[in-house]
Amino acid sequence: MKVKIYRGTHEIGGTCVELTAGNGKKLWIDLGAPLNSSNPDISYVKNRVDALLISHPHQDHHGLMENIGSEVPIFIGQLSLDLINAAKLFRAIPAFPGNFKKIEAWKAFTIADTFKVTPFLVDHSTPEAFAFLIDADNKRVFYSGDFRATGRKNILYKKLTDKPPGNIDLLLMEGTMVQRESHQYPKEDSVEQAMYHIFKEQKNSSFVVSSAQNIDRLVSVYRACKRTGKQLVIDIYTAWLLELVRKKSKNIPVMEWPEIKVYRHPGQAEKIKGSIYDTFLQRVTEHKTDNSVFTNPPGYVYFVRCPSEKLINRLKVNEIINIIYSQWEGYLMKEYEQYFTGYLNSLKADNQINFTKIHTSGHATVPDLIYFAKAIDPKIIVPIHTGYPETFKKEFEKEGIKNIILWEDGKEYEI
């Protein structure tokens, strides 16, 4: 089997791996959009491929998949596809009419009569993320995808490391957290506890800035609200995501739960017109916020991607407002600038704002990566999804793991 990493040997984001079997069949694992513009070359998306396998619904793993056209089969989890389409729905972008083939955790299937694939559900900052075991030509490749051991599904990490697949020839393993270590909030539970203390003492409203698709984080905020008697305000988009995830887990909070209120944003409501959304929008109306948020600001916590400047200004006549930034710090930097970057940075300098960073990563720490690698015990390990492969190699070698091989983007290797 031949293996080529188009992107990912020296960067986080834009991940794409190609496996070529002896019969010439080609399988791509992920086809992500780059996170920065330092290397704009994505010409490889025009190459021939027989199938695409998507590990999870983050842009840096699926963002370029529409470039392969509507004929090539795309193997993806149902929830992942639902979350991708939800983001398009609320941006008024038509869903991609791809040739989608639905996959499920731990249920093996065959691609192009060549590649036997077994998906493993892993703990990550999205509710559905897979690692893949791929068998072809009497070779076994394990692709870790993005994973961690510290989230609300950390039992999945233990399950995989306790009973790992055997005889792995190549482990392609993410290394996002190499040189990014942060131990202030090591687990999702510690994020919840830190927010609990802030909500308990708030004299005005609090705003948690995070991705709506980070369901683990939303659950942490919800639990902290419940413990402190606060009302959690979400928008229509977040409420819709919860409806989708609820199909997989009945423990996910929804708008009917007494601690949750929905802000009925008129622009979002406009995006989901149509009879299939009528019942959902009626429920939104029944559980929407009202003007009590202004008469009792300390009773509310907002879960948002970016706080409303109008709302912030109206609430600032009261006590100090808490802004809790709860996602990757890179989005506050010019290099990875988002639509909200400038406004959030301005809030950091506002003396009426208490700006706090409370976050734990969706990715495994170096010790957890090393433990994972020892459990899988492959013949060789190739770092991927990391900006520091040399440091990755050095850290692993300190722990006696000597089979780390550093590859280059765009070069084909044989295993």
Q: Clarify whether residues 248 and 338 are in a common domain.
A: yes
Number of domains in the chain: 2
Residue 20: predicted pLDDT: 98
Under the banding of pLDDT at 50, 70 and 90, the label for residue 71 is very high
Q: Clarify whether residues 194 and 110 are in a common domain.
A: no
Q: Clarify whether residues 319 and 396 are in a common domain.
A: no
Q: Clarify whether residues 176 and 276 are in a common domain.
A: no
Give the range of the structural domain holding residue 52, as residue numbers without chain letter: 2-180+362-414
Instruction: Please check the confidence at residue 106 and state whether its pLDDT lies above 90.
Output: yes
Residue 89: predicted pLDDT: 95
Q: Clarify whether residues 121 and 165 are in a common domain.
A: yes
Q: Clarify whether residues 134 and 275 are in a common domain.
A: no
Query: Which of 31-45, 84-98, 163-177, 397-411 comes out lowest in average pLDDT?
Result: 31-45
pLDDT in tens, 254-275: 999 999 999 999 899 999 988 9
Q: Clarify whether residues 36 and 63 are in a common domain.
A: yes
Residue 36: predicted pLDDT: 79
Instruction: Please check the confidence at residue 152 and state whether its pLDDT lies above 90.
Output: yes
pLDDT in tens, 167-205: 999 999 999 999 876 668 999 999 999 999 999 999 999
Instruction: Please check the confidence at residue 338 and state whether its pLDDT lies above 80.
Output: yes
Under the banding of pLDDT at 50, 70 and 90, the label for residue 252 is very high
Residue 164: predicted pLDDT: 98
Residue 182: predicted pLDDT: 63
Q: Clarify whether residues 311 and 399 are in a common domain.
A: no
Average pLDDT on 69-84 reads 97
The 3 state secondary structure assigned to the chain is CEEEEEECCCCCCCCEEEEECCCCCEEEECCCCCCCCCCCCCHHHHCCCCEEECCCCCHHHHCCHHHHCCCCEEEEEHHHHHHHHHHHHCCCCCCCCCEEEEECCCCCEEECCCEEEEEEECCCCCCCCEEEEEEECCEEEEECCCCCCCCCCCHHHHHHHHCCCCCCCEEEEECCCCCCCCCCCCCHHHHHHHHHHHHHHCCCCEEEECCCCCHHHHHHHHHHHHHHCCEEEEEHHHHHHHHHHHCCCCCCCCCCCCCEEEECCHHHHHHCCCHHHHHHHHHHHHCECCCHHHHCHHHEEEEECCCCHHHHHHHCCCCCEEEEECCCHHHHCHHHCCCCHHHHHHHHCCCCEEEEECCCCCCCCHHHHHHHHHHHCCCEEEEECCCCHHHHHHHHHHCCCCCECCCCCCCEEEC
Q: Clarify whether residues 204 and 333 are in a common domain.
A: yes
pLDDT, mean over the chain: 95
| Global pTM value | 0.94
